[in-house]
Amino acid sequence: MAKKQQGTGYIRRREDKGTVRWEGQYYYDGHRKSIYGPDYETVRMELNEILASIYRKTYVDGSTMPVASYLYYWLEDVCQVRPLTKLSYLGYIEGHIMTSRLGSLPMKRATLIDFQEFFNHKAVSGRLDGKPGGLSPKTLHNMKVMMRGALNYAVYPLKLIPNNPMLAIHTPKVIPPEIKILGEEEQERLEEACFTYPDPNAGFIVLDLYAGPRIGELVGFKWSDFGRDFEWVKIKRSLSRIARELVKEGSGYEMVEKPYLDNAKSALYAGPPKTAKGRRMAYLPDIAREAVKRVWAYQQKMGISNPQGYAVLTPQGYPVEPRTYQDLFEHVLNYAGLSHINFHALRHTFATRALELDDVGLKTVSEALGHAKASTTLNMYVHSEDKKKQEMARKFNRMSGERGRDFTG
């Protein structure tokens, strides 16, 4: 008997113990597969979709595909995230899921209990560095977000599983880290140090204190992004070092010109800002403009200035990487006699000072930071809003006092 051609299918009516259902059959990789539905049209529609995906070579067989293998497929062929996020997701799959019992289970056999047991175990003893303890709530949350998105795609359009068990998974609550900012005296000392530090690139630290770009956005500035006399700057891109294999053609990332070895596994790339609202304009106060002018004058003197090129350069005229600029920031802190803080604290300092200003609303500050939602800004900088609430209470006190009312007894 001739072997049935791969992808061909047919539908038949079945009756089991008085229950009528319809079965659709097709062949894949030499094996006969079946799908079921309540009526002919439902089965025919699903069968047509399967046959079409086999023809396009996009078919995924969920009956035997392990969870980890499916996640690999989803990450490589479906997932649309920034390369650095993709790198994190790959780490979750290879470091945690692939080596777990859950990762070896076929997609159609993995239950809600299997997924919850996986996260419970990772919360208690999930570290990969050999030390006791579990993964942080933030890591567990990020892993849950990844798996929820992947399994949503498995439910529809792939129809590998009937529902997404990740929607009911519980992980420990994420407690935001304490936001560190510079005090007013510390900020003044840092600004003074930036103007006297031997490397003029320190001037961009002052810009960050008054505009709040992320470090990747700051080193991504080009001189053409600045307005006349440095009155403003457009934030249009972000630089980051990324593994070459993660950057696909058409992803919106371009390798930055720099001497690289042909066999280097990673390179410096220019990509879009972190959020859709990350493309924005920042207006610079005089102190920030003067700091940037100092950098431009130095580059002209050294013969490395390029009106169309990057603004933060090495002495050899190459763009500075985020990690390198973080190192410079550490040296400037020491020069100013200040204790260690992360560069991101400058962004927090800018946001806090801006929210403390009169007549500067939350929406304005949120747009200046490039946050996707104003609620993100509010949740992060609630301490600044507390000061305004305290001032509001003091104004109510003065208002009540002016009315001459006495509540002391």
**Highest mean predicted confidence (pLDDT) among 178-182, 309-313, 397-401:** 309-313
Task: Please determine, for residue 174, whether its predicted confidence score (pLDDT) is greater than 80.
Answer: yes
Stretch 372-400: mean pLDDT: 67
Using the Cα atoms of residue 400, residue 405, residue 406 and residue 407 in order, give the sign of their dihedral.
negative
- Per residue in 334-370, pLDDT (tens digit) is 999 999 999 999 999 999 898 888 777 788 888 888 8
Closest to 44 measured CA to CA, from 20, 24, 74, 30: 24
Q: Name the residue type at position 80.
A: Q
Task: Please give the biggest Cα pair distance in the chain.
Answer: 104
Residues 193-212: what's their mean pLDDT?
96
DSSP per-residue string spanning 11-47: EEEEEETTEEEEEEEEEETTEEEEEEESSHHHHHHHH
Helix, strand, or coil (residue 285): coil
In this prediction, residue 3 carries a pLDDT of 40
Q: Is the pLDDT of residue 130 over 90?
A: no
Helix (H, G, I), strand (E, B) or coil at 176: coil
Sequence letter at residue 340? H
pLDDT digits (tens, 9 = 90+) for 70-98: 999 999 889 989 999 999 999 999 999 99
225-235 pLDDT per residue, tens: 999 999 999 99
The predicted structure's pLDDT at residue 284: 96
**Strand, helix or coil for residue 66:** strand
Give the SS3 label for residue 366. helix
Q: Comparing 21 with 378, which gets the higher pLDDT?
A: 21
Dihedral angle over CA of 16, 39, 35, 111, nearest 10: -80
Centre a 10 Å sphere on the Cβ of residue 106 and count the other Cβ atoms it contains.
16
Q: Residue 1 has what pLDDT?
A: 35
Helix (H, G, I), strand (E, B) or coil at 248: coil
Q: Which pLDDT value is given to residue 310?
A: 97
pLDDT score recorded for residue 251: 81
> How far from each other are the two terminal CA atoms of the chain, in whole angstroms?
104
Listing from the earlier edge strand, what are the strands of the sheet with 254-255? 238-243, 266-271, 254-255
